[in-house]
Every structure is written in C-alpha cells, then in structure tokens.
Structure 1
Amino acid sequence: MISFNAVTKQQGSKILFSNASFQINPGDKIGLVGPNGAGKTTVFRLMMNEESVDQGSISKPEKVRIGYFSQNIENMKGRTVLAEVMAAGNLDHLQKEITRLEERLQDPNLSEDEMMSVVETYGDLQAQFEAVGGYDLEARAKEILGGLGFSNEDMLLDVGQYSGGWKMRVSLAKILLLMPDVLLMDEPTNHLDVESIIWLEEWLKNYKGSLLMTSHDREFMNRLVNRVIEVANKTMTVYSGNYDFYDKEKNIRREQLIAAAARQEDMLAKEEEFIARFAARASHAAQVQSRVKKLEKIDRIEIPPEDKVMKFVWPEAPRGGEEVVKIEGLGKTWSLADGREKLVFSNATGLVKRMDRVAVVGVNGAGKSTLLKIITGQTESSTGICKVGPSIQMGYFSQNSLDVLDPKKTILEEVEGRVPNASIGAIKSLLGAFLFSGEEVEKKISVLSGGEKSRVLLACILSHPVNLLVLDEPTNHLDIKSREVLLNAIKEFEGTVMMVSHDRYFLKEITTKVFEIDKNQLRIIEGDYQYYQSLKQP
C-alpha cells in the first residue's frame, strides 16, 4: 500500500537514515521504535509530505486516505467538543455539497453531458461520505469521545476550556472519526488514563485499516502490533512480531553480530600477520598481494553502540517502621470557583506496610493524585486522619513538580541547589547516571524536553536517602528503555512504594496491593495488579 524505497534523509549534518526501505500492507499494525532523535517523527512527516526525501522515494496509492495524530495541539476554541470532533475532515462541507448536487439532479434543464458529470461527482462524494461513516457521524463521535473519557455533559462544553491533555484527546477523536485507510499515530496513549488506553486498544484492534505508531507503552504495543520497525544507527530494521519479540530478537541479532565480528577479527589478524611476515619475500609476493586485495574487499563488521540507559543506585536509607502510612475516615472536598463543593472521596481507611508496592488506580479525576498529595503533605484532608509512620523519609515525584524546576537555572545548578552538601563531582556522577554528561549539564531547564525534566527530577529524588517513594505518573515522557530501567530500580528499592501510573506493564511488574478510588470511595485489594484486573473482567 505505502512503500519506503531506499530512502535517505538528513537533518543538517546528521544522517537520520540511509537507503531505508519498508512497506505498509493493508491491515498491518506496525510499531515504530528507536531512540529519541533517531528520526521516527520524520518518518511520519515524510509520509504526510510535510518534508521531502533526500534520496529514494515514497510510493502510495493516489486515493489512499491517511490520518496523522501528532503531539502538536491544534488551537481549538469557540465550538463544543462534539461539534469540534464532528467538523473533522470538513465532513459538513461534504454533506452540503452532496445536498447541493441532489438538488441539481432535479433540474429539468440539465443537458445529458451535465447530468453525467453531476452523477459522477455525486457518486464520488457519496462514496467518500460513506467511507468515513458520514450517515451516523454524531453517534460515532459520541461513542469515540465517551471511550476517551468525555461524559455527555463534557461534550457540550467549549473545547477552549480544556487543558492541553484533554485537547489531545479531542484531536485523537477527530482522527479516529475519519476512519482513514492508514493511521499514523505519534504517542497516542500520552495523556490517557488506563480505561481510555484499554478502550483505544480495542478500537484499534477492530480497525480494518493499517496502523503505524510510536508508543512508550510496552503493553499497548504488545497487544496491537504484528511488526516492528526500528529506526536507529542511520538505518531501519524490520522485525516480524510484537515488541517483546523485537526486544528478544534484537539482543539475539546483536550477540550474533558480536560473534561474527570476533570471528572476522581473528581472520583479519591471521591474514595481516601473514602479510607482515612474508611481505619482504619475493617467493611469497603473489600470495601477499592476493591476501592484500582480499582484505581490501572485505566489508568490516561494525557493532552499533549500545543504547544509553539510566543507571540507578539507591543511597542506603534508614529502616522505617512496619506501618508506613495509615489513613482512617479520610475525606477530601475541593471548593470550586462558583462556590460549590466537589467531593473527591470520603471515609477512606487503609494501611500501607513496609515494602508494600501500592498501585493507586481509578478513572481520571477520581482523586488518585489528591490522595498522594494528602500523604505527602501537599494538601490537607477535609476529614479523617492521615498518619505517616516514624523514621519515614519520603521521596515525591509529581508531574506538577516539573513546574517547580527553575527555567533560568542549568541542570547542574538545579540539582546542586537541592543537594547543597554534595560535591560537584558527586553531582556530575549522579547526572551521568541520568544520561546528562559533559556539556549537557550546562543546558538550561527552559530548553529541556518533558522526558529530560523528568530525569532531572528523578535525579533530585535519588540524591536523598528515602524509604518511601510516592510517584505520580513517573513514566510520563520516558521512553520504553528508560521506563524499564526505572522499573528495575524500583524492584531493587529497599523501601515502600505508592504509585499512580497508566503503564499497565509497569504496574503488573511491581504491584503487591491496589488502592482503587471509585465513586468517591476507596477500596483496597490485597493482591497484585493482574489479580485486580481479573476482578474487573465482566
């Protein structure tokens, strides 16, 4: 359907990929992976003709309909959420044009040629309208918005009132409503809660078109993709399988490459030794020349550099008591701007014990972050008691904490200010573990990406000995490899963890207990995340 044919693309002096080829066939579900800056988003932009190839070509059928979901938020305001989604693809204009042509067909003064032309155009427009489900547009728009977390009341509010994360959901709904032949999706699960991710997963499973997507959500990729294309080291490599298959196969191929390189190195050493030994002997001149020519023709095997990953080493923390967090009859009510009060949860009672790994779950707005804020002292409860045990040293990560980083400071200055007793050498060593080395530590906070800011904040937390980690969406902005390093670090952490995350793979790997906030109530499930999910199955 769509073919990359020996494509080379360069950005400035950097070659993203050279002589790269792959094909998207009808019904394919493909994951696009690779380190940040390798060129994944560029692949999408090339397919959308937003950029052009330097060499090679991209071929696609003339009438193929491509939908592209990117991380760029449109400037949306002045329409309800529902109206904004229904306006996707200019379908209202298409419907008006179909109506106009229907009226023209009633004109008795049309010539035979005009009639044929109108009938042909009318047929084409009708086919387009039917292809995107135009005749049940509103019902499908409501279904999609509902799946992405909007209530019927939310759909009638002005889209301009919503935050950037919710506008992302509106943009996603617009793309899904169009039902294109090919979907290009750049991180579609960002800003979605677990319930919306599961809904989107099912939608994409049933989607008949082709899908090419990037995602930092390993579980999401595993459940959807049947092929993986890796963009790395100036090339593209295709793997036939899901993300787990790609991860294993990549390691196997690397080991095979290292073994082949070692064999080649042994062979080259022997040949070079023969040449050096007999180069001066006339009796061996022919053999020496033959071997020199042989060596000149050999393609040397290059081992690609290993991906840089974060390295965590936890400082030794004091042992806390067995009862880490105890809540009794806890309740929280927020005062709204219009004078009304909104109940978040009430009469919550529970106990977090030493070494527990607690997943705090619930739909968006249920009060997960609010519970963590009460525990960490960021806000007060309205009723009840929240008691943190003796000798508990707490480390708190929140997405909102990214805003407290000083944009005017460098990375080094920011971390130095938070650990004033540490030496510059120790701070640089710590930052090196978080992939900030050399001149990078002098970068201003203001120019960092979301993922880089998250790493700075995690470095600040890591610099202090703690025995309770409270993490509110720690994996947002982190790529899969960084998420896995963080995951392994948490597994080795000799303390207690409470965490909110929409990464199901992450939760499955570490959770020993679940706190579910649902309908203003807290329910405690004594079991891991998979057990919790089994309870939710219909």
Structure 2
Amino acid sequence: MLIALQDITFEFGSRVILEDSSWHIEPGDRVGLIGLNGTGKSTLLRIINGEYSISKGSVNKSKNLTIGFFNQDLLSFETEESILTVGMMAFGKALELEKDIERITKELEESQTDELLHEFSDKLHEFEALDGYNMKHKTAQVLEGLGFTTADLDRPYNQFSGGWRMRVLLARLILQQPDVLMLDEPTNHLDLPSIEWLERYLIGYNGAVIIVSHDRYFLDRMVNKIVEVYQQQLHHYAGSYADYEVEKELRREMQQRAYDNQQDYIRQQERFIERFKAKASKAAQAQSIAKRLDKLDRVEQVDNGPSKIRINFSVDKTPGKILCTLNNISKSFGPISILKNTSAEINRGDKIALIGANGKGKSTLLRIIFGMEPMEGERVPGHNVVTSFYAQHQLESLDLNCEILDELKNFGSGRTELELRQLLGCFLFTGDDVFKKIKILSGGEKARVALAKTIISQANFLMLDEPTNHLDMNSVQMLIDALNKYDGSLVLVSHDRYFVSQTANKIWEIVDGEIKEFKGTYTEWEEWKKRMATNAPAAATTKLSQSNNNAETKKESQSQSAAANATKGAINKDVQRELQKQQKQFSQVEGQVASLKERKSNLEASLGTPEIYNDKNRFAQVENEYQDVLKYLERANQQYEQLFEKIMQLEANLTS
C-alpha cells in the first residue's frame, strides 16, 4: 500500500469538506477522482500532498514515497531557460552527476590521482545507472509527444503561453516518475493528438495515477477505479467511468428498494402500535415494537443529485438550405500557411466538429466562417442565416458593470427571470451568485456567462470554440442535451471527445491546408482512421507488387491459387473442430448465465422482505453477495457475447 487515508475529516472554517472518509491507494491504481465542482477534489489531492492538515483521522504513506502533483499553481514558475532544459530538470540527480563528471574530467587533465580516478569511475557508474545518457532523448520524446516541434525545444520557456507552459511542466513531472502521479485537469491544456499520446504513456506508467478530469473519454480509457467525492464522503467503484455509471445506478436502485421496503415495514409497525397501544392485552407488544423501531438502523432515502434542468434553444427563423459556402479559401500568417485554396459547404442541419492538433487553423477557420477573419478567396453567406459565436474573446463583449442576471436579461431573449436563473444554475451560478458583478468574476466564470448568452440567443447557426472549458460533467451533459435538441446548425471546436462524439454528425479535419470532410460521427471517424492505418501497409505492398513483371505476377497468382485449393479442405476441418470447441464453451457459459440470473432473482427477493432490515449483519451479507453476483453475471454476459460472435464468424468461414 502506498497511501492510506483512514477516517479523515477536513473542514474549511465551519464547512465540512470530508467527514470520516477512508481511501487506500495501491501500486498500479489508476484512479479517476470525480465529483461536482466545489465538492473538494483538488482539496483532497492537497491533503494527500501534505499541503493541508486534517482535523481528524490519519494519512499514512509508505517509506520514501514520491508524489508528483500537476495543478494550476505550477504556472508561478518562471525561467528564461529553454523548454528542453526545464523538462530535463526532472533528472536532478543525473544533472548534478553530469556537472561532477565534467569537473573531474578537467581535474584529470592536470593530475591523474587514484582518488580522482576512483571518484570518476564511481560517478560514471552512477550516471549510467540513472540512464543519464538518455535523459535528453527522453525529455525531447515526451515534449514532442505533448505537441512541441523539434525546433521548439531550444526556445525559452517564458516565450510560451500559459497552456503551452503547462505542457512543459507536465512533461517534467511525468519524467520524474513519482510513485504517485496526481493530475488535476491535465487535458484542459492539450489538443487531441497530445491527449492520445498522454493516454498511451500513462497506460504503461509503473506508479499509481490519480486523475481529476471532466473528460469522460479520457477517464474511460485511463482508469481502473473511480472515487467520487459526494456529500462529504468518498465512494469507491471498480472499473472505468462507464462502469461507475452502471454501478452507481444499481446502488441507487438497491438503496431505493431497501428504503421503500423499510418504509413499508415501519408504516405497518406504526399502524399496529397506534391501533393496540391502548389495549391492555396488546400494550406490552406495542411498546416492544416501538422500542424496536427506535433502535432500527434507518436506510437513507436516495439522493438523485443535482436536478436536471432542460434548456431549449429557440430558433427565430429558418435559414436556406446552404448556410455558408467557402470557395478557394487561403490563409497565411506570415510564412506560415494555414489554408491553401480549399473549399467547403455548410448545409442546414449540419453539426460539424473541427478537430486536429493545435496550430492547424481550427479557430482561424471558425472565424473565417463567421466573417471576422480576412482571407483570400470567397465566402458566400446563406439566406436568412442568424449567427451566434462563442469563443474566449467574446468575454470582452460582456458589460463589466452589469450583474450576471441582468446581463442575460439585457440580451433580449424574452425568457423569464426563473428560466434565466435555471439556466445560470446549470452553469454553476446558484442563489445570490446571479447578482454578482461581471467585473469580479474569474476568467472561467466569465466564459460560462458568455456561453449562457450563446445558448439563449435565437440564432439558427452557432459557432462554438472550446465551449466545455470550465464546465463540470453535469453542465457538459446539459449542453449536449440542449445541442441535440437544437433545430439549427453548428460548427464547433473542442478537445473533449465525449462532447464531440455526442453532438457532431460531420467531422472536418484540416490536412495540409485543405478541409477534409467525413460524413459521420466522431466514433465512426475514429474507426475509419484505424481502418485506414491498418490498410495502409497492405495497400503499399499491393502497389509494389503491381509494379513487378505481369507474367511473374500471373504465375505467382496461379501458384497461390493452386496451393489455396489444395489446403482448403484441411482448413475447413480445422475450422470445424474450432467451431465445435466454441459451441461447447458457449453451452457452458449459457448455463452459468442462467444460474446467475436465478441467483440474482432470489437475492432480490430476499432484499425485498422487510424482515431482513432488522438484522444489520444479514442485510450486509446479502447485499455483498448480490453485488458479487452482478459482477459475475456481467463477466459471464461478456463472455457469452464474445463466444457468440466467434461462433458466427467461424460459421461464416465454413460457408465462404
């Protein structure tokens, strides 16, 4: 065990953040730490890091444990050194040894004493053990994986923007290889290729990893455990974020069922007490039941979390079939060419996601479509198109002296104050928060106000540049639901793959200055890219073989055909044997599934009886057994589906 949090309580003044909560972090854990904004996720990381002291409980760490913590506070770091040098700071001991070796080398030029030679040998051995000869290569590899070019490596750190600086500091942190790596919203500063590289890197990471993120795709691919901070408690779940959602719903259903059954039991007993408490022959029994009810361990009613408020866009007018046409568009910034003589068309009903690495021109293209970016070529707007643009620079249009609620009222959407307050609640402005002045809001809060204004506009064409930044998962889901009901069209830029996969029906990628369109969802686009990558080597081999002498190619083809016919019978026999083997396993698994389903039904019936709640130990035993059966049933169902697909494939091979 690396870290053990045992029954900890932490308070900010009179506000309790965590109460009697426990968490054991093991080697190999990849944990997604989740919860609503303000519930204490970052606070918990700082408790683990030793920055905050708890008021109760204990935090125990293994001897010589190293912890790396990636968070916004790192931006206070300043230096004029190159980003390669900053990244190599991860190898502090190796860098010290390198300086020592250089010093000893100079001293040996003047005097080759045995003492110096022994020291030189020892230093070289230690330097090699620390893999010091590869530290520059490793640092460059990680930095380039996070989106930097080879030319960037020698540029000073202080020449980069905040987002790129965070990438440098992330590179330095993961190169340190701490026993526990804690990452607070790491994907906020990364584009899609960099996120995918980070996923590949972390999957093979030897230490424990704790991730705070609102990126569902990232969590699903990265974590094997979920810890949810909810109602001052830590709730533990095994598996990915998708597994957590299923398991949480099951827990809610079981708790609700247990609550309902117990309430029925309590009502029955209370009716008995009320009816017979004044009857001499039954008074003692009624009193005994009343005492038993007082001692009853009450099941809490299910808390369904924050209420889900549905926000609908209203479209003022219907546009023509074509919203915007781009003809032979070119755009450059000095010597850097972004777009080269490219054309595209946006039709009514299109929901387009612009994806790709930073620097490819996604935001520039968005501004060109909006008509606010000069370029070469022709932009033809459609008929009756009413456009609303959300981007970080839109924050400048907010009235700093206005209150948040008045800012939305003055926008002229025609919505009532109640509707506006409900919308602001989705964007984390609750209660008296709506009366805050815009000028005192943080950058993230201003961004949420600007996004709320975009949602209540009556535009039939939306352009959204990173709309999910600064939103928690519930708010992102609210935005997804709203956009899926939106009757208009949209073009969006986002690095949140879950958001893109749930909203876009077309993908635009800028490749070599051209807009490449894929008609389909993000998931379909990903699958298509994988197929293309897999088929590319085969296509290259085919092209090479076609360049050979036609006679030799024909002869080889005939030879292969003859060999195929000769072995076809043998192959069919092998397939038949494998099919019989899989069918036998399928029958066994089918029986296991039936048995598990029957056991699940029996346990549910047990949990449905009021008497079980009188025995706390018995209830816990049955509930644990029920959870185990659910896990075994899920595994059995997965195996059942895999075997079924394999059998279908084998049967197809036999008939082909």
Q: Which residue of 1 aligns with 2:311?
A: 312
Q: Which residue of 1 aligns with 2:201?
A: 203
Shift of 1:364: 0.5
Q: Tell me how far apart the structure 2 counterparts of residues 252 and 391 of structure 1 sit (CA, whole Å).
A: 49
1:138 aligns with 2:136: yes
Deviations 1:29-87 (A, max 9, x none): 11111111111111111111101121111211121221111122132221111111112
Q: Which amino acid aligns with 1:374?
A: I
Q: Which residue of 2 aligns with 1:337?
A: none
User: Residues 391 and 467 of structure 2 are in contact (CA less than 8 Å); yes or no, is this contact kept in structure 1?
Assistant: yes
**447-456 vs 513-522, which deviates more?**
447-456
Q: 1:341–1:437: structure 2 CA closer, same or farther, 3 Å change rule?
A: same
User: Residues 228 and 239 of structure 1 are in contact (CA less than 8 Å); yes or no, is this contact kept in structure 2?
Assistant: yes
Q: Please, which of 492, 500, 505 is the counterpart of residue 498 of structure 2?
A: 505
1:283 aligns with 2:281: yes
Q: 1:422–1:56: structure 2 CA closer, same or farther, 3 Å change rule?
A: closer
Q: Tell me how far apart the structure 2 counterparts of residues 33 and 261 of structure 1 sit (CA, whole Å).
A: 26
Q: 1:242–1:46: structure 2 CA closer, same or farther, 3 Å change rule?
A: same
Give the unaligned 5+ runs of structure 2: 534-656
SS at the partner of 1:168? helix
Q: Tell me how far apart the structure 1 counterparts of residues 103 and 277 of structure 2 sit (CA, whole Å).
A: 86
Higher percent of residues as helix: 2
Q: Which residue of 1 aligns with 2:509?
A: 516
Q: Which amino acid aligns with 1:210?
A: A
Shift of 1:274: 2.5
Shift of 1:452: 3.6
1:17 aligns with 2:3: no
User: Residues 194 and 363 of structure 1 are in contact (CA less than 8 Å); yes or no, is this contact kept in structure 2?
Assistant: yes
Q: Please, which of 347, 351, 360 is the counterpart of residue 357 of structure 1?
A: 351
Q: 1:151–1:309: structure 2 CA closer, same or farther, 3 Å change rule?
A: farther
Q: Please, which of 150, 170, 186 is the counterpart of residue 172 of structure 1?
A: 170
Q: Tell me how far apart the structure 1 counterparts of residues 303 and 149 of structure 2 sit (CA, whole Å).
A: 49
Q: Tell me how far apart the structure 1 counterparts of residues 132 and 57 of structure 2 sit (CA, whole Å).
A: 37
Q: Which residue of 2 aligns with 1:163?
A: 161
**242-251 vs 89-98, which deviates more?**
89-98
Q: Which amino acid aligns with 1:29?
A: R
Q: How does 1:84-233 map to 2 (within 5 A)?
A: 84-88=86-90, 90-91=92-93, 94-95=96-97, 99=101, 126=126, 130=129, 133-233=131-231
SS at the partner of 1:385? strand
Q: 1:487–1:230: structure 2 CA closer, same or farther, 3 Å change rule?
A: same
Shift of 1:279: 3.1
User: Residues 411 and 443 of structure 1 are in contact (CA less than 8 Å); yes or no, is this contact kept in structure 2?
Assistant: yes
Q: Which residue of 1 aligns with 2:601?
A: none
Q: Which residue of 1 aligns with 2:466?
A: 473
Shift of 1:368: 0.5
1:79 aligns with 2:78: no
Q: How does 1:377-526 map to 2 (within 5 A)?
A: 377-380=371-374, 382-419=375-412, 424=417, 427-432=420-425, 434-449=427-442, 451-526=444-519
Q: Which amino acid aligns with 1:19?
A: D
SS at the partner of 1:63? coil
Q: Tell me how far apart the structure 2 counterparts of residues 341 and 357 of structure 1 sit (CA, whole Å).
A: 32
Larger radius of gyration: 2
Q: Tell me how far apart the structure 1 counterparts of residues 104 and 288 of structure 2 sit (CA, whole Å).
A: 80
User: Residues 10 and 17 of structure 1 are in contact (CA less than 8 Å); yes or no, is this contact kept in structure 2?
Assistant: yes
**267-276 vs 493-502, which deviates more?**
267-276
Q: 1:207–1:419: structure 2 CA closer, same or farther, 3 Å change rule?
A: same
SS at the partner of 1:143? helix
Deviations 1:341-380 (A, max 9, x none): 5322121201111111211122111111011111112222
Q: Which residue of 1 aligns with 2:240?
A: 242
Deviations 1:137-187 (A, max 9, x none): 110110011011111111111111111111111110110111112111111
1:343 aligns with 2:345: no
User: Residues 427 and 475 of structure 2 are in contact (CA less than 8 Å); yes or no, is this contact kept in structure 1?
Assistant: no
Q: 1:93–1:332: structure 2 CA closer, same or farther, 3 Å change rule?
A: closer
Shift of 1:94: 3.8
CA RMSD in angstroms, aligned pairs only = 2.8
Q: Tell me how far apart the structure 1 counterparts of residues 463 and 514 of structure 2 sit (CA, whole Å).
A: 21
Q: Tell me how far apart the structure 2 counterparts of residues 134 and 443 of structure 1 sit (CA, whole Å).
A: 54
SS at the partner of 1:415? helix
**224-233 vs 426-435, which deviates more?**
426-435
SS at the partner of 2:385? coil
Q: Tell me how far apart the structure 1 counterparts of residues 311 and 479 of structure 2 sit (CA, whole Å).
A: 8
Q: Which residue of 1 aligns with 2:367?
A: 373
**258-267 vs 83-92, which deviates more?**
83-92
Q: Tell me how far apart the structure 1 counterparts of residues 100 and 272 of structure 2 sit (CA, whole Å).
A: 81
Give the unaligned 5+ runs of structure 1: 335-339
Q: Which residue of 1 aligns with 2:61?
A: 60
SS at the partner of 1:249? helix
Q: Which has the higher contact order (CA 8 A, sep 6+)?
A: 1
Q: Tell me how far apart the structure 2 counterparts of residues 352 and 431 of structure 1 sit (CA, whole Å).
A: 31
SS at the partner of 2:234? strand
Q: 1:175–1:15: structure 2 CA closer, same or farther, 3 Å change rule?
A: same
Q: Which amino acid aligns with 1:372?
A: L
**268-277 vs 93-102, which deviates more?**
93-102
Q: 1:86–1:429: structure 2 CA closer, same or farther, 3 Å change rule?
A: closer
User: Residues 91 and 134 of structure 1 are in contact (CA less than 8 Å); yes or no, is this contact kept in structure 2?
Assistant: no
1:269 aligns with 2:267: yes
SS at the partner of 1:378? coil
Q: Which residue of 2 aligns with 1:323?
A: 322
Q: 1:202–1:152: structure 2 CA closer, same or farther, 3 Å change rule?
A: same
TM-score by length of 1: 0.89
Q: 1:433–1:315: structure 2 CA closer, same or farther, 3 Å change rule?
A: farther
Q: Tell me how far apart the structure 2 counterparts of residues 527 and 284 of structure 1 sit (CA, whole Å).
A: 72
Shift of 1:108: 6.2
Q: 1:408–1:170: structure 2 CA closer, same or farther, 3 Å change rule?
A: farther
Q: 1:233–1:518: structure 2 CA closer, same or farther, 3 Å change rule?
A: same
Q: Which amino acid aligns with 1:79?
A: E
Q: Tell me how far apart the structure 1 counterparts of residues 54 and 102 of structure 2 sit (CA, whole Å).
A: 41
| Percent pairwise identity | 36
